[in-house]
Amino acid sequence: MEDLVSVDNLTFSRGDRLIYQDISLRLRKGKTTAIMGPSGIGKTTLLKLIGGQLRPDSGDIRFKGESIPGMGRKRLFEVRRQMSMLFQSGALFTDISVFDNVAYPLREHTNLSEQLIRLLVLMKLQAVGLRGAAAMMPSELSGGMARRAALARAIALDPELIMYDEPFAGQDPISMGVLVKLIKELNDALSLTSVVVTHDVTEVMSIADYVYILADKQIIGEGTPEQIRSHQSPLVQQFLLGRADGPVPFHYPAENIAQQLLENY
């Protein structure tokens, strides 16, 4: 199977803090890949690395075989037109309407007539079920609707790769269901390659074709959802089942409690 994106021996640190140490993963074409892990380990950073917004310390990231860190700014902008990212907050432009938001990439990157753009925008909005909200401003949308509108914008240019950054975070069960359905449908209907970064285990296990679990700067487990469920690593199991204590301790590292409590006596 062909890889759309491959990450090889990537090391990345922010300031003095090491975020990834020598990780490798690949996103297979036409499949949905999930990257899971506890909060605060820099999963979003990985997407930014793939998008070329950050540069790795060492290692390589290839999009269709072409090294992203090695690209010039111009080439990078060309390549970015084939990818698209759904940000956690939606990141809609707050100063223009939903319709104009979705039309934005089309107006920016194509010379289509305004009529054709209207047609395309309405179709994209229909796909996410927000055709009726076209005239609304982003501030008038609920969180789930904003994310769907952002999704419509993300697919406006029919990208090959779409990256979802925590698409389910902070959503009510209904919006979550809608988003799960949308991601799956879009992936199948448009034969997109999707990568979903999340810590919502159940939702993502239902749509992912392949799963990577990141923890402690490394990939601690990978495989299809079934393989992951029966994974040997206690860390993976703790994550999947959501146990409070385990290899990832409940307590943030601290000195002995008895000692600390008695310190002032």
Residues contributing to the site for another protein (CB under 8 A): 48, 51, 53, 77-78, 80-81, 83-85, 87-89, 91-95, 104-105, 107-109
Least separation in angstroms between residue 259's CB and another protein is 32
According to DSSP, the residues that pair with 63 across neighbouring strands are 5, 66
**Short-list 37, 27, 32, CA closest to 200:** 37
Nearer to another protein, 31 or 81 (CB): 81
Nearer to another protein, 7 or 228 (CB): 7
Distance between CA atoms of residues 80 and 51, nearest Å: 7
Burial class (CB in 10 A: 0-12, 13-18, 19+), 83: buried
164 close to 184: Cβ distance less than 8 angstroms: no
**Short-list 181, 188, 197, 162, CA closest to 36:** 197
Q: Which residues contact 88 (CB under 8 A, 6 or more apart)?
A: 44, 165, 166, 167, 169
Least separation in angstroms between residue 89's CB and another protein is 5
Number of Cβ within 10 Å of residue 158's Cβ equals 12
Structure-token pair, residue 150: 């952002």
Nearer to another protein, 88 or 233 (CB): 88
Nearer to another protein, 70 or 234 (CB): 70
Structure-token pair, residue 7: 């990450």
Least separation in angstroms between residue 85's CB and another protein is 4
Nearer to another protein, 94 or 232 (CB): 94
Least separation in angstroms between residue 256's CB and another protein is 34
Least separation in angstroms between residue 105's CB and another protein is 5
Nearer to another protein, 66 or 108 (CB): 108
Least separation in angstroms between residue 104's CB and another protein is 7
Least separation in angstroms between residue 92's CB and another protein is 8
Q: Which runs of consecutive H residues, i.e. helices, occur in the chain?
A: 43-50, 73-80, 98-109, 114-127, 143-154, 173-189, 201-207, 225-229, 234-241, 257-262
Distant-in-sequence contacts of 106-111, Cβ < 8 A, 24+ apart: 106/156, 106/157, 109/81, 109/157, 110/157
Distance between CA atoms of residues 142 and 48, nearest Å: 26
Nearer to another protein, 83 or 228 (CB): 83
Distance between CA atoms of residues 22 and 32, nearest Å: 23
Nearer to another protein, 49 or 228 (CB): 49
Least separation in angstroms between residue 95's CB and another protein is 8
